[in-house]
Amino acid sequence: MRPDKKELMELLSTKGEENLASLYKRAYEIKKQFVGTTVYLRGLIELSNICSKNCYYCGIRSGNKEVNRYQISFQEAMEEVKLCIDFHYGSIVIQAGEREDKPWIDFITKLVKSIKELSDNKLGITLSLGEQELEVYQQWFEAGAHRYLLRIETSNPELYKALHPANHSFAHRLNCLHLLRQCGYQVGTGVMTGLPGQTIEDLANDILFFSDEDIDMLGMGPFIPHHNTPFKNLIDSFNPTEALNLGLKMIAVCRITLQDVNIASTTALQALHPEGRELGLKAGANVLMPNITDTKYRKGYQLYEGKPGLNETAIQFQKELEKHIYAIGETIGYDKWGDSHHFFKRKNEKTL
Ligand code: SAH
Ligand code: SF4
């Protein structure tokens, strides 16, 4: 059933500690009922910060000349994959800036195939590599990737226009989501919350967009201004508590209304609060993406200011992680893909 916009706006406008606590509690009950309290882990490799795009909000946009660009080699990437297997994470996410050149496309294909081989087909693979042609999405799907994350960033085309240069297209990005669906991927999208110029109505419309597009997975997080972007003037007035609360509210309202989708508790939440990750889980998220990128590259992947874990190795993180998850009474789905329940429901409905 399509959520009611007025109700969405009311829920998203929740204020005051008590009301917020009951909103999160309601979301948590629905999470328990529809997806359970097992957290699924995806080891995240930030494969390269080379990007042909110039999104105004992003710290690794092509226009930022102060960033040293890197690309992790095949061998190094495979070392990180081994870590992921050793940690029993179950899935891996490969994320990077956007590139459409053939050497890059073939590099990804080779990597995906090799991950499947090395893990004996056991590691689930999610890609987050931006807008590509149908043939490229197909090639990567056939190589073994089965989930793809492409945030729409905002479902408001006017706001999208204000956040991107003229050669970036909302319609094209939306079409990419459709191409991904056509290939057979579990499709993930999402938005940033607290974007300059964004209203509560925009966020409600975002949720309607997720519902209308029948999205399987969501990755959403607060917008955090970066000093080397056109939005640097927003740093002084940025309020981390407000940004955190809005990000958590969005997770909770998505869980309440969309019920069986996978929702990630993202690093941007952690950047705003030391327990941001757990707060995300308590507001309804059920997926975490521990960063397994070698620490020597992390400085180069600062999409926003204050991204945490710059020096924390994957091993240190893994030790802490269990403690934190068990502390909130949840378990970890080691060695499980933890696929989106919504995806299977959608598939079954189609075949009925
Ligand atoms: N290049 C790919 C994937 C990497 S960017 C793509 O754009 O799809 C991953 C996500 O980082 C983006 O979708 C965006 O939502 C988020 N991001 C970029 N800049 C950000 C900022 N300043 N604050 C919070 N999130 C940001
Ligand atoms: Fe590139 Fe993605 Fe950043 Fe846009 S958000 S500049 S596509 S890395």
Query: How remote is the CA of residue 112 from the centroid of ligand 2, in Å?
Result: 21
275 pLDDT above the threshold of 60: yes
Ligand 1 within 6 A of 98 CB?
yes
**Which pLDDT does position 33 carry in this prediction?**
98
pLDDT digits (tens, 9 = 90+) for 332-348: 999 999 999 999 988 88
| pLDDT: which is higher, 319 or 293 | 293
Ligand 1 within 6 A of 303 CB?
yes
pTM confidence score: 0.97
List of residues 6+ apart from 90 with CB closer than 8 A = 40, 41, 42, 123, 124, 333, 334, 335, 336, 337, 338
SS (H, E, C) the chain: CCCCHHHHHHHHCCCCHHHHHHHHHHHHHHHHHHCCCEEEEEEEEEEECCCCCCCCCCCCCCCCCCCCCCECCHHHHHHHHHHHHHCCCCEEEEEECCCCCHHHHHHHHHHHHHHHHHCCCCCEEEEECCCCCHHHHHHHHHHCCCEEECCCECCCHHHHHHHCCCCCCHHHHHHHHHHHHHHCCEEEECEEECCCCCCHHHHHHHHHHHHHCCCCEEEEEECCCCCCCCCHHHCCCCCHHHHHHHHHHHHHHHHHHHCCCEEEECHHHHHHCCCHHHHHHHCCCCEECCECCCHHHHHHHCCCCCCCCCCCCHHHHHHHHHHHHHHCCCEECCCCCCCCHHHHHHHHHHHC
CA atoms within 13 A on the CB side of 350: 8
**Which pLDDT does position 350 carry in this prediction?**
58
Pocket test for ligand 1, best of 69, 108, 151 (most atoms within 8 A of CB): 151
352 pLDDT above the threshold of 70: no
**Which pLDDT does position 157 carry in this prediction?**
98
41 pLDDT above the threshold of 70: yes
Query: How remote is the CA of residue 169 from the centroid of ligand 2, in Å?
Result: 13
Rounded mean pLDDT of 179-196? 98
67 pLDDT above the threshold of 90: yes
Query: How remote is the CA of residue 73 from the centroid of ligand 1, in Å?
Result: 22
**Which pLDDT does position 309 carry in this prediction?**
87
Q: How confident is the model at residue 239 (pLDDT cuts 50, 70, 90)?
A: very high
**Which pLDDT does position 327 carry in this prediction?**
94
Query: How remote is the CA of residue 312 from the centroid of ligand 2, in Å?
Result: 24
Ligand 1 within 6 A of 24 CB?
no
Question: What is the rounded average pLDDT for all residues in the chain?
Answer: 96
Q: How confident is the model at residue 351 (pLDDT cuts 50, 70, 90)?
A: very low
